[in-house]
Amino acid sequence: MDRAQNVDRLTEPFDVAIVGGGATGLGAAVESAARGYRTVLVEAHDFAQGTSSRSTKLVHGGVRYLAQGNVGLVREALRERGRLRRNASHLVGDLRFIVPAYAWWSGPYYGVGLKLYDLLAGRFRLGKSRSLDREAVLAALPTLEPEQLKGGIVYVDGQFDDARLAMALALTAADLGAVVINQMPVVGLLKEEGRVRGVVARDAESGREHTVRARVVINATGVFADRIRHLDDPAAVPTVSPSQGIHLVLPASFLPGAHALVVPRTDDGRVLFLIPWHGRTLVGTTDTPVAEPVEEPRPLEEEVNFLLQHTARYLVSDPSRSDVLAVYAGLRPLVRPPDEGVERTASLSRDHHVFTSPSGLVTIVGGKWTTYRKMAEDVVNRAAQVAALAAVPSPTAALRLHGAPGAARTSEVGVPTGPLASYGTDAPALQALVRAEPELGGLLHPRLPYLHAEVVWGARHEMARTVQDVLARRTRALLLDARASAECAPAVAGLLARELGRDRTWEAAQVADYRALAERALLSG
Ligand SMILES: Cc1cc2nc3c(=O)[nH]c(=O)nc-3n(C[C@H](O)[C@H](O)[C@H](O)COP(=O)(O)OP(=O)(O)OC[C@H]3O[C@@H](n4cnc5c(N)ncnc54)[C@H](O)[C@@H]3O)c2cc1C
């Protein structure tokens, strides 16, 4: 993906313009381009810079929704889980989850629920849930608090790398002919006779404004959806209620081994996960209503304390603030109950909603990463209707994403590991780059599994434009070890400057910006 070439293509006439490059917008771009519609997507910052790089990284039906009785939603998510497992097998793996039982009744209670979960998955089931005795639970989770432990249940769900999957979607859309551009915020809507006919986007790098014409515009800006709706109609009623969730990243020693731990009911009635991910332990999450969305949400002290306290309750050794390698916060774009004056299209899933404004602006909010493909199918169906595009059935259920090997993998546990695994079928080209330029073969940092070559690859092929793009999303250095990632910022800035033709002033500013970001990903005190 060459950014300059894509910017040049903005003068083309498009069928579908998509605003927002998170899971929802990128999924819609793949769906639209795969149907043969001329498609453009513009993202204000970087792909998945918002909520879509800040998830729990589970591809799941949602055991929680099952407890709430939302069977249809769980069935749909499990079907999408199976498809994603097949279509992005280089980024999605199976993971075994253990629900420990500390009361005599909890084993049978959760056992029945998880049997239903198995049943709902049908042919998309990843593995059978079963009950474990106390010894088997402790063998799988050696750091689990043993006192009063009776046994547990094990079940299988999916796990993935969210920012890398977003990149796979961007690359897939580009492979299908879509124009996909980051650092390009939409600042206005093009309207003719009351109808939305395109967008005005400002290139954050050059400052130039581009008028992009399209037959229909999809607003996929997550928690910012109402801002775009207000560009269309200052009186538009709000559609989103943001809710913050945070995660802590701890060393693998807190949860050694390949199993995840599920606390089915925390003090505030949520599910808490402790998950092995890329050689670390992820702990999350929380659910805190937020009045106004911001681009860099901050974890609250009480959220951090809540996670530390619950983790301590279930593990033999209590994590302290100094154990935390990184903390991150994301905002869920939850759907507000529909108001009068907005035409609502409740699609098959009750989890996401598609709204069509009188101007023809199509907005999609809600949903989750797991169901991004179904959301894309629904929103592109609606966009095609609004713009009277030729009806084309959705081709994405079996579409392999960029980097996925052609054949489905089976019974692999855990996200594929090893150097460059997340690049899938691009990995050999990256290895060839290292052979051609051996100095790129070194590690960026001894505590991080990333090569100098990945910076160059990101700049050349994955539209990485900043140090943050490389360290937070093309690689996951920021999450794996925020301090180490800050230490390699100068090396990354140097390589990027060489690739992008930037000067020393740019490099220094990039390093300063990145260090400020990494500082915020660390806990003080
Ligand atoms: C804490 C947490 C944990 C989660 N865990 C899971 C999980 O384990 N599994 C799962 O399936 N789901 C999970 N989810 C849900 C999932 O992450 C979200 O549903 C999904 O990422 C939302 O994607 P989105 O594209 O709608 O929003 P976003 O990712 O926020 O994307 C919107 C994009 O629009 C861009 N934008 C905004 N304004 C403009 C503009 N004017 N011009 C251009 N672009 C603009 C933003 O920069 C942003 O990149 C979790 C969510 C949270 C918060």
Q: Is the dihedral of CA 103, 109, 112, 114 positive or negative?
A: negative
**Overall average pLDDT of the 384-388 stretch:** 98
- Cα gap 126→70, rounded to integer Å: 20
Per-residue 3-state assignment (H helix, E strand, C coil) for 62-115: CHHHHHCCCHHHHHHHHHHHHHHHHHCCCCEEEEEEEEEECCCCHHHHHHHHHH
Decide if pLDDT at 343 tops 90.
Answer: no
Per residue in 470-509, pLDDT (tens digit) is 999 999 999 999 999 999 999 999 999 999 999 999 999 9
Per residue in 239-273, pLDDT (tens digit) is 999 999 999 999 999 999 999 999 988 877 888 99
- Cα gap 21→514, rounded to integer Å: 21
Which residue did the predictor score with more confidence, 107 or 339? 107
What amino acid occupies position 223? V
Q: Which atom of ligand 1 is nearest to the CA of 330?
A: 53
Q: Which residues contact 468 (CB under 8 A, 6 or more apart)?
A: 46, 478, 513, 514, 517
pLDDT on residue 525 = 63
**In Å, how far are 169, 199, 395, 416, 462 from 33, measured between CA atoms?**
11, 18, 10, 28, 18
Per residue in 442-480, pLDDT (tens digit) is 999 999 999 999 999 999 999 999 999 999 999 999 999
Provide Rg for the chain, Cα atoms.
23
- Cα gap 477→114, rounded to integer Å: 34
Q: Is residue 333 within 6 Å of ligand 1 at its C-beta?
A: yes
The rounded Å distance from CA 53 to ligand 1 centre is 7
Count of other CB atoms within 10 angstroms of residue 251: 15
Q: Is residue 22 within 6 Å of ligand 1 at its C-beta?
A: yes
> In this structure, are residues 14 and 39 in contact, taking their beta carbons and an 8 Å threshold?
yes
Bridge-based pairing state of the strands 259-263 and 92-101: parallel
Percent of the chain with pLDDT over 90: 82
**Overall average pLDDT of the 112-141 stretch:** 86
| Mean pLDDT of the chain, nearest integer | 92
Selection from 173, 165, 65, 161 nearest residue 113 by Cα? 65
Nearest CA owner, ligand 1 atom 4:
55
Count of other CB atoms within 10 angstroms of residue 142: 13
Q: Is residue 370 within 6 Å of ligand 1 at its C-beta?
A: yes
- Cα gap 522→327, rounded to integer Å: 6
The residue ranges of DSSP E strands in 238-382, in sequence order, are 240-251, 259-263, 272-277, 280-284, 288-289, 326-335, 343-346, 352-356, 362-366
**Overall average pLDDT of the 194-214 stretch:** 98
* pLDDT band for position 120 (cuts 50, 70, 90): confident
DSSP assignment, residue 144? B
Q: Which atom of ligand 1 is nearest to the CA of 228?
A: 41
**Overall average pLDDT of the 371-399 stretch:** 97
Q: Is residue 26 within 6 Å of ligand 1 at its C-beta?
A: no
pLDDT on residue 45 = 98
> In this structure, are residues 276 and 257 in contact, taking their beta carbons and an 8 Å threshold?
yes
The H or E element that residue 201 is part of is strand 195-202
Q: Is residue 58 within 6 Å of ligand 1 at its C-beta?
A: yes
* pLDDT band for position 411 (cuts 50, 70, 90): very low
> In this structure, are residues 470 and 509 in contact, taking their beta carbons and an 8 Å threshold?
no
| CA angle at 275 for the pair 272 and 280, rounded to the nearest 5° | 135
The rounded Å distance from CA 134 to ligand 1 centre is 39
Nearest CA owner, ligand 1 atom 31:
22
- For 278-313, b/e burial (b = at least 16 CB within 10 A) is bebbbbbbbebeeeebeeebebeeebbebbbebbee
pLDDT on residue 112 = 78
Q: Which residues contact 216 (CB under 8 A, 6 or more apart)?
A: 15, 16, 17, 196, 360, 362, 383, 384, 386, 387, 389
pLDDT on residue 133 = 95
Per residue in 309-340, pLDDT (tens digit) is 999 999 999 999 999 999 999 999 998 865 53
The rounded Å distance from CA 405 to ligand 1 centre is 26
What amino acid occupies position 8? D
Measured in degrees and rounded to the nearest 5, phi and psi for residue 43 equal: -120, 135
The rounded Å distance from CA 250 to ligand 1 centre is 23
Bridge-based pairing state of the strands 58-59 and 179-181: unpaired
> In this structure, are residues 31 and 87 in contact, taking their beta carbons and an 8 Å threshold?
no
pLDDT on residue 110 = 79
- Cα gap 74→68, rounded to integer Å: 10
The rounded Å distance from CA 128 to ligand 1 centre is 31
The rounded Å distance from CA 428 to ligand 1 centre is 31
What amino acid occupies position 214? A
Least confident of 28-42, 77-91, 487-501, 502-516: 77-91
Bridge-based pairing state of the strands 326-335 and 352-356: unpaired
Total-model pTM: 0.95
